[in-house]
A = this chain, B = another copy of it.
Amino acid sequence: MDTTQNPAEGSAMAGCIAACNECNRICLQQIDHCLTLGGAHSEPDHISMLLTCASVCRTTSELMSMESDWYATLCDVCAQVCDECADACEELGDMEECAAACQDCAEECRSMVDNGNEEDDEDEDEDEDEDEQEITAGERIN
């Protein structure tokens, strides 16, 4: 667990956990809405996107809650998933609440990644080339 956590980061983390939980809630709630609307809203790809976003948000929230050493890695992935989900919601239309929750969660997650990296910069020099290997927001493997 991350024992170097300072109060400011603790507060940021609480905000990010809340944003992840809210995004998880809205994505799951929207499945009913999307299946009722039908058409493009109920296509397998869109429902899969909502379920993926809900699932990654939940795990990211839990890793932050237990202050796992891996939370920043999950926050980074979560920000990317949320960005893609927000884009999908905006493209489809009639999903404003979900798009907003995803955008908010992506932003909170990105700020946790930045906090994590700043801490590393202060603490350790051996990880100096880490940023180069960080996944760029919006990139997906596969």
The chain A residues found within 8 Å of chain B, CB to CB, are 1-2, 17, 21, 24-26, 28-29, 31-32, 35-36, 42-45, 47-49, 51-52, 54-56, 58-59, 61-63, 65-77, 80-81, 113, 116-117, 119-120, 130, 133-136, 139-142
Contact = CB atoms under 8 A, between A and B. Distances in A.
Contact of A24 (B32, B65, B113): B65
Given A58-B58, A67-B32, A73-B77, A1 B135 contact: no
- List the number of copies, as a whole number: 4
Contact of A31 (B47, B134, B142): B47
A79 to B, nearest CB: 11
B68 A51 contact: yes
B42 A66 contact: no
Contacts of A75: 141
B70 A140 contact: yes
A113 B134 CA distance: 16
Contact of A21 (B21, B55, B136): B21
A42 B55 CA distance: 21
Contacts of A25: 17, 21, 61, 65
Interface core residue of A61, A116, A140 (most chain B CB under 10 Å): A140
Contacts of A56: 59, 63, 70, 74
